[in-house]
Structure formats: structure tokens, C-alpha cells
Amino acid sequence: MAITLVNPEGLPKIDVYRQVAVASGSKMVFVAGQVAWDVDGVTIGEGDLAAQVEQCYLNVGTALAAAGGSFDDVAKLTVYVVDWTPDKMPLLQNGISRAAASLGAAPVPPATLVGVAALDIPEHLVEIEATAILD
């Protein structure tokens, strides 16, 4: 495995991600920001942040698989959420948990959460991009 996830002493331990990813592989994979579209471009979970987070993670998983990888290979995630406020954290975590159950893996690489004013279309509440390292 090209990625080792670490929560070093001296930094807080966060349930939904690890603080550091150490990469040792040779193939880099950059996944474009994934929104809550199905294969036909229809928005899944309109108005439902948890459902959209789940679909975004599933889409990232599909993109990684196309490159020969999985969430085990992800070194960094960036999550963009429209009109982010801390009270939305349970919805975000719920969507991540649902995606993890579907994927059979916990997507916990280092992550950055960025609140944004808007995304590509008004129906999209979240977008997730990933960087992965493969052997």
C-alpha cells in the first residue's frame, strides 16, 4: 500500500480523518471535484446534505477504481460545502458513514473542509476532490 495514515502525538485525533498521509508510491492520481451526480448527470439528494456527501464519496470511489485505486490510496481530500456552518457537521459525518458502509472502507485520509458561497449549480451542496498515490 502506497499510503500510511498517521495521527501523530501532539496533534488532535479527529474521528473523520487522519492528520498525515505518508506516500511512497510512484503513480499520482488527481480526481476532479465530484458532486452528487449519478451516471446520467442527475443530482442525487437535492436539498439533502448527507445524501449528497454520500454520493460524492461514492463518485470519488468510482473514479479511484477507474485508475486502479481505492480510498486506501488517497493521500488528501478537499471537501467544499455550500454555506458551511458547524451545525452541519452531523449531516456531513452521516453522509461519510453511509458512504463508508457502501464502500466497505472508511475514507479517513487527511482532509480539508472549505465553506463556499456556491458550486457549479444551485442544487449541489458539496463537492469532493481527491489526490491518491498508487504503487
119-129 pLDDT, tens digit per residue, is 999 999 999 99
pLDDT in tens, 12-50: 888 888 899 898 888 999 999 999 999 999 999 999 999
Q: Grid coordinates representing 119?
A: 458550486
Q: Show the CA angle centred on residue 81, arms to residues 76 and 84, nearest 5°.
A: 120
Q: Grid coordinates representing 15?
A: 474521528
For the entire predicted model, the pTM comes to 0.89
